[in-house]
Structure 1
Amino acid sequence: MKLLHIDSSVLGPHSVSRQVSAAIVDRFRQATPSLDVVYRDLTQTPLAHLSGSHLAAAQGAPAPAELGPDLAASAAALEEFLAAEIVVIGAPMYNFTIPSQLKAWIDRILVAGKTFKYGAAGPEGLAGGKRVIVAISRGGYYGAGSPAAALEHLESYLRGVFGFMGIHNAEFIIADGIQVGPDHREKALAGALQAATSLHAA
């Protein structure tokens, strides 16, 4: 079984989402010692953001030589995703949505003919057999019914993206309020880590 582990926080060891995503992966390792884990840190090895040259190359136009390494990195990121049966993502909220590094990765895996296609009935997801678990950290409180709920564009975006690819049951472990104060941070982290260690991983 293959698991792809993605981290996108810029905070290194101080990151809540990194701690929780690592705990999720540890839970799967304990359940399946032979688990094949591929790790990608999007802050240490970032993917370039899309450009006109990228889009032209995707349509079959000749790619400039200098774009070669990035196209190879894009292909590798897509292959990692396609090969994985489980995908674990650490996703902190930055300015009400996902980090730009994570968006660059999504732009590499949301590919027509690979993870979705258009047919007579509209778009059809092609990656529905995967289990996706996202560790989210948010500085404030953005859950349904909260005063800031309308500013929540992280979980909602990721649900939409993975649903578009046919993954309609993505799981989310959320640590909310980590910037409200030390006590709130400690409580949110402890709750998220407990949820991670309690995951069904058989």
Structure 2
Amino acid sequence: MKLLHIDSSITGENSASRAVSGAIVAALRAADPSLEVVHRDLVAEPLPHLTLDVLGNPEGTPELAEFLAADVLVIGAAMYNFTIPSQLKAWFDRVLIAGKTFRYTAEGPVGLAGGKKVFIALARGGYYGDGQPAAAVEHAETYLRAVLGFVGIQDPVFVVAEGLAIDADTRTKAVAAAVEQAGALAIPA
């Protein structure tokens, strides 16, 4: 089984999403030591913004090939300015390819990349969950659910650490709780 681990936070060692995504990968490897893991750090090796030659390439890109080969996907994403990092958006621009991960029909788009299990480590500075005053401007989790659903991936598992910019104590507790939650994850049979 192949796992593709994507990290996109720009904050390096201080990254909550990287800590949580790493904990998810560690838990999944502990449950299945035979898991093949490929790690792509979108900050250390950034992808350029989408260009017409990439969009018009019917064979896709190496990023698409990695995505299609993976059975499991772990994404580390911080929420910056209400949405995902531009580095992660550039990666998705190489994965959402008509005829490869989705197709258009008269009844609407159909995802072609279903069957993958997806875990997302999401870090947010404030509180943006359901029922929070700022929930209406949360576009990271909503975008990720929409884009994954568009390619046929239903029910991604989110491990969220939020309130990280409130104060040091809140950050420490939020990250610890998310890492603990991540440690209990496993790939369903």
TM-score above 0.5, yes or no? yes
Distance in 1 (CA, whole Å) between partners of 2:54 and 2:112 is 22
Aligned runs of 1:9-158 on 2, under 5 Å?
9-55=9-55, 57-58=56-57, 75-158=61-144
Q: Deviations over 1:128-177 (max 9, x none)?
A: 11001100000000011111111100000000000001111111000010
4+ runs deviating over 2 angstroms: 51-55
Whether contact under 8 Å (1:110, 1:116) holds in the other structure is yes
1:165 matched to 2:164? The reply is no
Whether contact under 8 Å (2:54, 2:61) holds in the other structure is no
Secondary structure in 1 aligned to 2:61?
helix
Question: Aligned-pair distance for 1:201?
Answer: 3.2
Question: Aligned-pair distance for 1:10?
Answer: 0.7
Distance in 1 (CA, whole Å) between partners of 2:184 and 2:54 is 41
Secondary structure in 2 aligned to 1:160?
helix
The residue number in structure 2 matching 1:192 is: 178
Bigger proportion of residues as helix? 1
Whether contact under 8 Å (2:31, 2:186) holds in the other structure is no
Distance in 2 (CA, whole Å) between partners of 1:164 and 1:51 is 21
Matched residue type, 2:57: A
Q: Percent identity?
A: 58
Whether contact under 8 Å (2:159, 2:178) holds in the other structure is yes
Matched residue type, 1:176: E
Distance in 2 (CA, whole Å) between partners of 1:83 and 1:51 is 24
Q: Which has the larger radius of gyration?
A: 1
Unmatched tracts of structure 2, length 5 or more? none
The residue number in structure 2 matching 1:68 is: none
The RMSD of aligned alpha carbons is 1.4
Distance in 1 (CA, whole Å) between partners of 2:117 and 2:51 is 30
Secondary structure in 1 aligned to 2:153?
coil
Whether contact under 8 Å (1:27, 1:201) holds in the other structure is no
TM-score (norm 2): 0.96
Distance in 2 (CA, whole Å) between partners of 1:198 and 1:3 is 17
Q: Deviations over 1:38-67 (max 9, x none)?
A: 000000111110123434x437xxxxxxxx
Distance in 1 (CA, whole Å) between partners of 2:90 and 2:31 is 31
Return 115-124 or 101-110, whichever deviates more: 115-124
Secondary structure in 1 aligned to 2:120?
strand
